Structure 1
């Protein structure tokens, strides 16, 4: 149960990181109009967000695969008994 809690905590942290990166991209985009930022800064924040999102999706896919494997292993054990 503690492992699941850590996993959920990890997912929540990754989601918060993505939100922060998108917020920074938005903030940088607003600063372009005042010449305090460049389009490359906005692009960098968006690229970081996409990278984090891809990492989160892969993490969730891994969790799904693990759960499916555990579920099928339980059913095989029941069939053998």
Structure 2
């Protein structure tokens, strides 16, 4: 399925979980590059949604870093 078939908020959460973006604003820019319209991206406004997306971005980055560091630390012991 094309990413453009996803509702903008669904796609934003998908991008956030991927860990490639650090914030809602980076997610919005990524979506614009994918072809989502400004009207689509504007659906990402709001304090609660911004907080959720930013938190997911942070969690995904921490998890990604943990996955990268984990094996190295295990080998060091």
Q: TM-score range by the shorter chain?
A: 0.3 to 0.5
Q: Which structure has the greater CA radius of gyration?
A: 1
Q: TM-score, normalised by structure 1?
A: 0.41
Greater share of helix? 1
RCO (CA 8 Å, sep 6+): is it higher in 1 or 2? 2
